[in-house]
Amino acid sequence: MSAESNTFAATGRRKTATARVRITAGTGKFTANSRDFETYFSHENFAKDAYAPLETVEMKDQIDVVANVHGGGVAGQAGAVAHGVARALEKMDSELRAPLKKAGHLKRDPRQKERKKAGQPGARKRFQFSKR
């Protein structure tokens, strides 16, 4: 819990993106890196992904979200913000844990980019085989 008693902070991660999220009771104002969610996340689906936990618990118009995001791309950052929002909501009210967990918002998505292996053009791809 932060210095203010009604501010709750949490960290969310997805791929290589990290989001530091602060939520407060308010009117539904969403900002990411000092920009509005709709303008920061280039496609509307990414913005929807970012505030999906709030829609799950039906508190989209009652909570203000301020997120600092870095690393990764737009999709990873949206997922990181969603993860951070879900964790902050759980800190705010432990009753919300069950619906957030059921919707899968509290689980950190473990999928990462697989490393490229030596002697191959990619992680799994092989160079073309030539018999002759």
Residue with tokens 């490229």: 116
Each residue's pLDDT tens digit, 68-127? 999 999 999 999 999 999 999 999 999 999 999 999 999 999 999 999 999 999 999 999
DSSP 83: H
Buried b (16+ CB within 10 A) or exposed e, 43-58: eeebbebbbbbbebbe
* Full set of structural domains in the chain with CATH: 7-102 (3.30.230.10)
Which tokens hold the place of 113?
């980019």
Q: What is the pLDDT of residue 4?
A: 54
d(CA 67, CA 22): 6
Each residue's pLDDT tens digit, 4-22? 568 999 999 999 999 999 9
Q: What is the pLDDT of residue 2?
A: 44
